[in-house]
Amino acid sequence: MSQFSTARLSEARSPIATNPIANSASFLFRRAIVGLGLFSALAFAVQNPHGVQLVPAKADATKKPVIPAPVAVIAPPGSELYIAQRGDSIPSVARKYLKRTKFLTSSELGDAIREANQKRQGVFLKSGEPIIIPGILESAIVEKSVPVARDFEVRAIYLTGVMAGSDHGVRIIKHWREVGGNAVVFDIKDSDGIVNIAFDHPLAAGQRHYIPDLPKFVHFLHSENMHAIARIAIFRDEHLVTTHPELAVKSQRTGQAWRENGKLVWTDPSNPRVQDYDIALAKYVAQSGVDEVQFDYVRFPAEGDQKDAAFAFQTAHPDCKDAACPGSSHPESQCRDGACPVSAAGPTTTAGSTTAHPKPKKDTQRSEVIADFLKRAYAQLHPSGVLLSLDVFGIMAWQRPVDLSHTGQDIVAMAKHCDVLSPMIYPSHFFGMDGIARPGDAPEHFIGESMDRFKLITKDSGVVIRPWLQAFAWRTKTYSPQYIEVQAEVAKQKGGIGFLFWNANNDYSKPYIAMPEMRAAKNKDRYLRGDEVGMKPEPVAATPVAANTAPIAAPVAAPHTKVETGLAPSPADSTHAAQKIWRH
Residue 74 has pLDDT above 70, yes or no: yes
Taking alpha carbons only, the member of 351, 356, 387, 388 closest to residue 371 is 351
Angle, to 10 degrees, between the axis of helix 481-493 and the axis of helix 443-457? 30
Residue-wise pLDDT for 142-164, tens only, equals 999 999 999 999 999 999 999 99
Q: Are 256 and 119 in a shared domain?
A: no
The CATH number for 109's domain is 3.10.350
Mean pLDDT of the 7-20 span: 45
The mean of the pLDDT values for the chain is 81
Q: Are 40 and 95 in a shared domain?
A: no
Please state the domain count of the chain. Answer: 3
Residue 54: partners with Cβ closer than 8 Å, 6 or more residues away: none
Could you give the C-alpha distances from 247 to 240, 264, 336, 358, 580, in angstroms and in order?
8, 11, 26, 18, 26
Q: Are 292 and 256 in a shared domain?
A: yes
Mean pLDDT of the 42-50 span: 46
Whether 139 is covered by a domain: the verdict is no
Q: Are 391 and 513 in a shared domain?
A: yes
Q: Are 86 and 184 in a shared domain?
A: no
Q: Are 117 and 24 in a shared domain?
A: no
Whether 143 is covered by a domain: the verdict is no
Please report which confidence band the pLDDT of residue 407 belongs to, taking 50, 70 and 90 as the band edges.
very high
Q: Tell me the sheet residues that pair with 186.
A: 159, 230
Q: Are 348 and 450 in a shared domain?
A: yes
| CA 353, 355, 359, 364 torsion-angle sign | positive
Rounded CA-CA distance 567/348 in Å is 37
Residue-wise pLDDT for 245-286, tens only, equals 999 999 999 999 999 999 999 999 999 999 999 999 999 999
- Of 98, 133, 168, which residue is a domain's last? 133
Half-sphere exposure in the Cβ direction for 28 (13 Å, CA): 5
Q: Are 119 and 246 in a shared domain?
A: no
* Three-state secondary structure readout of 107-129: HHHHHHHHHHCCCCCCCECCCCC
Whether 197 is covered by a domain: the verdict is yes
Could you give the C-alpha distances from 91 to 78, 88, 98, in angstroms and in order?
20, 8, 10
Whether 423 is covered by a domain: the verdict is yes
Whether 74 is covered by a domain: the verdict is no
Q: Are 104 and 222 in a shared domain?
A: no
Q: Quick one: pLDDT at residue 449?
A: 97
Percent residues over pLDDT 90 in the chain: 69
Please report which confidence band the pLDDT of residue 316 belongs to, taking 50, 70 and 90 as the band edges.
low
Residue-wise pLDDT for 170-201, tens only, equals 999 999 999 999 999 999 999 999 999 999 99
Rounded CA-CA distance 171/181 in Å is 13
Q: Is the pTM of this model over 0.85?
A: no
The CATH number for 413's domain is 3.20.20.80
Q: Are 110 and 162 in a shared domain?
A: no
Please report which confidence band the pLDDT of residue 326 belongs to, taking 50, 70 and 90 as the band edges.
very low
Taking alpha carbons only, the member of 584, 185, 191, 158 closest to residue 393 is 584
Residue 11 has pLDDT above 60, yes or no: no
> Cα-atom radius of gyration of the chain, to the nearest Å?
38
Whether 7 is covered by a domain: the verdict is yes
Whether 75 is covered by a domain: the verdict is no
Rounded CA-CA distance 26/50 in Å is 13
Q: Are 85 and 166 in a shared domain?
A: no
Whether 183 is covered by a domain: the verdict is yes
Mean pLDDT of the 363-374 span: 93
* Domain carrying residue 20: 3-51
Q: Are 118 and 261 in a shared domain?
A: no
Residue-wise pLDDT for 489-533, tens only, equals 999 999 999 999 999 999 999 999 999 999 999 998 999 999 999
Rounded CA-CA distance 256/323 in Å is 18
**Structural contact between residues 157 and 182, judged by C-beta atoms closer than 8 angstroms:** no
